[in-house]
Amino acid sequence: MPEIAAAKITETVCALCRQANYELGDDVLEALDHALSIEESENGRETIRELISNAAIAKKEKLPICQDTGLVVVFVELGQEVKITGGTLDEAVNEGVSRAYKDLRKSVVNDPFIRENTNDNTPAIVHLSLVTGDRIKIGVLPKGGGAENASSLKMFLPTASKEEVIKYVVDCVRTSGPKACPPLIVGIGIGGNFDHCAYLAKKALTRRVKQNHSNHDIAQMEKRLLEEINRTGIGPMGLGGRVTALAVHIETHPCHIAALPVAVNMECHAHRHREATI
């Protein structure tokens, strides 16, 4: 059985968290460049120019892109042939987060009501899936609080139409989008159940920005939603403009005959996602 040391997982998580926070991905930068080319509002254009310049400063000076360095969401795809040695997966991931966040903002409190800072940004939220093979794929998504707060979930009737779902998502953006740091990336989970559709909405954010779903119908719905969201006029930072979202990503899953769950996970333009396979 192939062995992977817990220390290697720690090292990888630490490096991914740092890279995510200091270097905006080329997919987001390309999306911002495109946004600048189509934005008509002068305030919107100035905001996008600030974001592009901010990313360059952050990378050059090793400064976090955004001060909200997030609650770290970690996606682990564990090859079922792998044996982890020298510690547990959970400890290894959290040790990696703790090390990375020595120089980053600690944004996690110990309890929803006691609210004492844990001082090392742990615990991370870990989503584990078992896959075939002898490797481990780790993705990190440090997620800011403002955009996360703008997210929502609705249990639709199973007879609801696609149009009703589209209207719901656009309404979510209209109501909560302006404060979630637009231009947004909108992650949508459709199907599954109450908890799984929220997971799918988050998982949708890990796809390369602007890469549409491989299924044609879902890709069409993504395009339609992006168009509708960009017709709201919210624009960069909610100051008005053509670009309210950079991308819409949808993931779907089979669901119960009685249900049609829909979750919308808002992501700001400071979309920090990095992954590696060990």
Partner 1 sequence: MKSISLPLDDKTIEGLKAGDRVLISGTMYVARDAAHKKGIPVDLKGQTLFYAGPTPGRPIGSIGPTTSSRMDPFTVPLLQKGLKGMIGKGARSAEVKAAVKKFKAIYFAATGGAAALLGRTVKKAETVAYPELGPEAVLKLEVADFPAIVAYDARGGDAFEEGIGKYRLND
Give the binding site for partner 1 (CB under 8 A): 40-41, 43, 46-47, 50-51, 53-55, 57-58, 61, 63-69, 103-107, 115, 117, 119, 144-146, 149, 170, 178-179, 181, 228, 231-235, 237-242, 268-270
The nearest distance, CB 185 to partner 1, in angstroms, is: 12
The nearest distance, CB 8 to partner 1, in angstroms, is: 27
Q: Which is nearer to partner 1, 45 or 196 (CB)?
A: 45
The nearest distance, CB 87 to partner 1, in angstroms, is: 27
Q: Which is nearer to partner 1, 153 or 239 (CB)?
A: 239
H-type alpha helices, the chain: 6-22, 26-38, 42-61, 89-100, 145-149, 162-176, 194-204, 216-230
The nearest distance, CB 98 to partner 1, in angstroms, is: 14
Q: Which is nearer to partner 1, 115 or 216 (CB)?
A: 115
Token digits of residue 23: 């270097």
Q: Which is nearer to partner 1, 59 or 208 (CB)?
A: 59
| 137, β-bridge pairs | 77, 277
Q: Which is nearer to partner 1, 104 or 260 (CB)?
A: 104
Count of other CB atoms within 10 angstroms of residue 127: 16
Residue 21 contacts residue 63 (beta carbons within 8 Å): no
Token digits of residue 34: 């495109």
Distance CA 233, CA 220 (A): 21
The nearest distance, CB 278 to partner 1, in angstroms, is: 28
Cα atoms found within 13 Å of the Cα of residue 17, Cβ hemisphere only: 33
